[in-house]
Amino acid sequence: MENRPLEYDYTVAKMFMLTTIVLGIVGMTIGVFIAFELAFPGLNTIFGHTIAEYTAFGRLRPLHTDSVAFGFTVSGIFATWYYVGQRVLKVSMAESKFLMFIGKLQFWLYVLGVAAAVVSLFMGYTSSKEYAEFEWPVDIAIVVVWVLWGVSIFGLIGIRREKSLYISIWYYIATFLGVGMLYLFNNMEIPTMLATSPIGETNIGDWFHSISMYAGTNDALVQWWYGHNAVAFVFTVPIIAMIYYFLPKESGQAIYSYKLSLLSFWGLMFVYLWAGGHHLLYSTVPDWVQTMGSIFSIVLILPSWGSAINMLLTMKGEWQQVAASPLIKFMVLASTFYMFSTLEGPIQAIKSVNAIAHFTNWIVGHVHDGTLGWVGFMIIASLFHMAPRVFKRELYSKGLMAAQFWIQTLGIVLYFTSMWIAGITQGMMWRAHDEFGNLAYSFMDTVNVLHPYYALRGVGGLLYLTGFLMFAYNIYKTMSSRPVEESELQNASPMGA
């Protein structure tokens, strides 16, 4: 019994792989639609005036951001956890009926939460805080799903055979704790039905609408402490957990430096939490908070690049694999995009640079070189690595994977270059003035000048979505092909578990 290899149970991992792909398609399709809507506003009424309310940019934007962040990305985090967790802890989900039940319950409540989130956002219910738009009933569902995930993490850790915790597990635990804390604090809200207006009126709202427990500047501070750390604990920390597992597995190379990974871990944990002030430069928050946000953002380059360099150096002496394997290409480009956005972010956090960048499309460009290049590529790569192993089938087509890689890379490049040019043009035009101090351009002048860049960004997004559909097709065909044993897989990992 002891000598037999463990039979891991991937039921829950497979369920979350499905939502990663479905919600990815939904979120990115909406992204492409709203991108073209900015270039061609007439699209708002393309499905008729009667439903124009539902296709308006303002209604669809949070649906895009929430479905890619809390749908695609969070599903990817759960899917990889239910794969990586078992393998590095050397314990199977099948060994605990309780943990299996918790995993499945987590999945079904998650699906229910997503459905409630989509319907309520479409109906126009929103707390109007970015990335925290959900109203309190959905928030409660999210908290329950999160707690169940925590039970699963610590439950598996509790029954593990492998005593030492591989670095990826540290990053998953940090994701759980970080998001849990931030989400609870930022979403403290009161249903308007229970609130009293400033002139003493009661029963002024309804049960499904709420207002924040914080007001004014305090609200902004808590919101961006949350918002920036959503970047840290949803778009960074769990994605590092993935690359620290999947890159060594796929390449057969041991991680370059375990010490560096620990050093960067604690660096990220300490520094990220102080940098949120960079979203509120030149606002009403105290000046010292703004300066602290800027300084910590610059310091953040160190742990960020520490992780990224560690990932890249893992390929030391094995660079031929990058040319040979599209899957390694995805991961190496993901770490490169990570380096890129964690240099760009600190530059945008410098006060004088932010004076030009803030409110412009340069920020949107920064967001998407990070999310499409780093987050998207790493989740795609992880699922590509997992698919043959969880479905026990050869990957359907490496050629299709390679084509997807190039199409999506081109899409990202078009996306961020067009947004850089658009953003810096916007920033400069807003500031330009004549010798008497009058503004040189009206707001409409800047809108007109942006049109070609918006159209180009739409094309970039469409290419990225096309690649993602190719990915979905490749996984679907893999699932439906002839089964093989894991040891027979052509690209079975040379590194054991």
Q: Cα separation of 487 and 389, whole Å?
A: 9
Q: How far apart are CB 151 and ligand HEM at their closest, in Å?
A: 26
Q: Which of residues 328-347 bind ligand HEM (CB under 6 A)?
A: 341-342, 345-346
Phi-psi region of 196 (alpha: psi -120 to 50; beta: other; left: phi over 0): beta
Q: Cα separation of 78 and 18, whole Å?
A: 11
Instruction: With H, G, I as helix, E, B as strand and everything else as coil, classify residue 197.
Output: coil
**Contact call for residues 132 and 187 (beta carbons, < 8 A):** yes
Pick from 12, 23, 25, 32 the residue near ligand HEM by CB under 6 A: 32
Which residue stretch of 63-71, 253-261, 322-330, 427-435 sits at the interface with ligand HEM (rule: CB under 6 A)?
63-71
Pick from 231, 247, 339, 380 the residue near ligand HEM by CB under 6 A: 231
Q: Cα separation of 50 and 351, whole Å?
A: 45
Pick from 152, 236, 290, 314 the residue near ligand HEM by CB under 6 A: 236
**Distance in Å from the first CA to the final CA of the chain:** 17
DSSP output for 246-289 = HHHHHH-PPPS-HHHHHHHHHHHHHHHTT-GGGGGTTSSS-HHH
Among 377, 99, 400, residue whose Cα is nearest residue 242? 377
64 binds ligand HEM (CB under 6 A): yes
Half-sphere exposure of 333 (CA within 13 A, CB side): 24
The token pair at 405 is 């890689």
* Contact characters 196-215, ligand HEM, x per CB under 6 A: --------------------
Binding-residue total with ligand HEM (CB under 6 A): 47
389 binds ligand HEM (CB under 6 A): no
- Angstrom CA distances, 183 to 186, 286, 464, stand at 5, 24, 30
Q: Which of residues 366-385 bind ligand HEM (CB under 6 A)?
A: 366-368, 370-372, 374-376
23 binds ligand HEM (CB under 6 A): no
**Contact call for residues 153 and 106 (beta carbons, < 8 A):** no
358 binds ligand HEM (CB under 6 A): yes
34 binds ligand HEM (CB under 6 A): yes
Which residue stretch of 86-94, 185-193, 297-305, 391-399 sits at the interface with ligand HEM (rule: CB under 6 A)?
297-305
Q: Cα separation of 62 and 117, whole Å?
A: 10
127 binds ligand HEM (CB under 6 A): no
Q: How far apart are CB 453 and ligand HEM at their closest, in Å?
A: 11
Pick from 127, 168, 261, 297 the residue near ligand HEM by CB under 6 A: 297
Q: How far apart are CB 287 and ligand HEM at their closest, in Å?
A: 16
Pick from 14, 59, 61, 129 the residue near ligand HEM by CB under 6 A: 61
Residues within the interface to ligand HEM (CB under 6 A): 28, 31-32, 34-35, 61, 64-65, 68-69, 72-73, 130, 227, 231, 235-236, 275, 278-279, 297, 300-301, 304, 341-342, 345-346, 348-349, 354, 357-358, 363-364, 366-368, 370-372, 374-376, 461, 464-465
